[in-house]
Structure 1
Amino acid sequence: MHAVFYLLLAASLTRYLLRHPWEGRSPWILVLCAVLTVLYAVGAVSGPRVAPRRLAWLGGVVVVWMVLVILAPSFAWCAVPLFYTGLRTLPERAAIPLVALLTAFVVGAQLRLSHRDFDPDLVVGPPAVAAIATAVFVHAQRLAARQRALIDDLIRTRRELAATERREGTLAERQRLSMEIHDTLAQGLSSQRMLLQAAERTWDGDPPAARTHVRTAASIAEHNLAEARRFVHDLAPADLAEGGSLEAALSRLAARESAGFRADGTPLALPDRVQSALVRIAQGALANVREHAGASTAALTLSYLDDQVLLDVADDGRGFTPSATAPPGARGHGLPAIEARVRQLGGTLTIESAPGEGTVLSVAIPLTTPLREHR
């Protein structure tokens, strides 16, 4: 639009000089053209912001152009770019009267140039052009405003979604941390407390047994320290890191908890996250047996089937009603943590128990095709 303005201004000046090689008003027209060129260039650089200086600039451009049209009607068609300048600078209610004023000057200039009888086209044409130009600009501005509002909404929604995702991620991480602490550090500390209490009870009557309890507690503390370090670095359970295989990790865990262990079927290469989850599930289940079941024996069974891997934890303790949310006396994250881990792996958790008849906790993890590879 700026280029069109300069082109029309140059064409109007050329037409005037060709029709009127030199007249008394020619110097004024040249000076006014130069002033208008400079004024318009200043406004083109400063942009369409509405401010007192900007309004003063627009008023100066319009006044200089009107004087030019009065002196030389051929400058009338420079009004078309000025339509858009006014519409971009002023609010819509103020810009439309300005367009009407500019259009009136164009009509008057065309009538002066016609040198003929009254021509309706000269009266109807410029207002029609002005109306179309104004309508197109106003429609485009409204579309742009709606688009900006939509973009603002999208940006705000994206920020809200990002904040929600951060909150959900924080909550998920907190849940993960609570499960990890429950299945590792809390269980180890509980075992140490029980062993130290037993050592205190037998310290005078049976010193060898007391020392055995203390050594076992120290061993658990060492294992807990290794778990804490791996926990901080988000690594696999210490039992997996020590021996490498899932069967060896579960066997060591069962030995520490004085439980039996058996593996059935042909071992499969399971993903690290599945192996870690199964070890954590076994830790949580055996901790529940130790703290709440009052069992004399417990057993871990790992079974490999064609389409799934099973982990069973059985005890001969007091049992409970499976419909209850937790065994009697249970607290904390025991079963909820196990359920959450199983759900993350897309598996199923089954609990068979009855008061006085022990408990069997069974976890089934489905195997996808890429996982079913023999070691």
Structure 2
Amino acid sequence: MSAVDEAVPSAAGLARVLDADGALLYAIDGQDLGIADIWPANAAAGSLRLQVGFGVTGLVARTRKPILIEADSPRNALHRQLLRLEPQETVARMCLPLTGLEDRVVGVLAVHRSPRRPFGPADLETAQSYVPLLGLHLHAEQLWRAVNQHRTERDRLMKQAIHAQEAERRRIAFDLHDGVTTALASMSFHLSAADLTVSELASRDEADAAARVRKLEHARAELVSARELADMAYNQTRAAISGLHSLVLDDLGLVAALESLVQTAGRAGGPAVDLVVDPAASVEDIPDHAAAALYRIAQEALANAVKHAEAARIVLSLRRVGDSVVLGCADDGKGFDPAERRTARVTGADGGQHFGLSSIAERCAIVEASLRLESAPGRGTTLLVELPL
């Protein structure tokens, strides 16, 4: 390898050693070959993709056998540009498979020169002396990139999971603060007023019977108000607990949990909320974690539509498309510009914070589901989540 400057030969070094006009190092990515190194350099090299099994280079990658061609004329226009071929011009080529660990084909070495000097057995023998090192080096680079990609993806998903958890905690805190805490404070006020009235009756000799009746009626009214507030606090606490975990989902499955969700969302004089489940859709094989994710996404989507869409009707849907489950939430409300709603939190006109589309996007990312949103001002909103199983 003394003829090559680098410890691992580059495309330029290989071209010099093999007396070639140019060299290309291809790396396999799935079913395609992409250029990992090229000489002479060309800015368009990164755009060339050759399919494994097709063409000379793809055939070498598939068959694992080197090929020598005295006069080749590639059809791919970009490939011809990289080989610097004029129209109707041919080129002599030599292509060898590159193998990495466990004898796995990881790429192809391709060199070329004028057809007046075709490659022969001696050139092939020289090139094969570099193939093992080239293959191991290329495989090591691929493994290193894969490790970095997995690490980056893991870190991203961990951050999104933490953000989703914190958003859920904040939502529950706001629900408890705005609902339960306010109800309990009001109930305490009414109970204090009732206690004061009863204490006055007990400590004073009230001669006027009518006045005593009025005071008793006032105390009773305060107690009735306190009872109503206690019921409200109880119901809101149950709703908050349901928001933390769905027992229906555990006991009866995803469809029953969505039905319960729709029934709850459709109460209190709000928009009509319907659930449409494809009769042909089979959801029994949905894993527990996937069902939980879809339930939470549906919960968030319905809450957003009920609070912000100003819709007359909301439709939640569930269907199967091939090996995927598709959850939909559509409304006929005021709609919005999606480009303006890409932040994790949107501050409303009242100063409150609403957790919306970004938390749904984070949940989708965690379970590797795709999210599509279609909306426009005055034309309603449709949200579709596709989860591959």
Q: Same fold (TM over 0.5)?
A: no
Structure 1 or 2, whichever has the larger Rg, is 1
Larger fraction in strand: 2
TM-score range, shorter chain: 0.3 to 0.5
* TM-score, scaled to structure 2: 0.40
| Larger helix share, 1 or 2 | 1
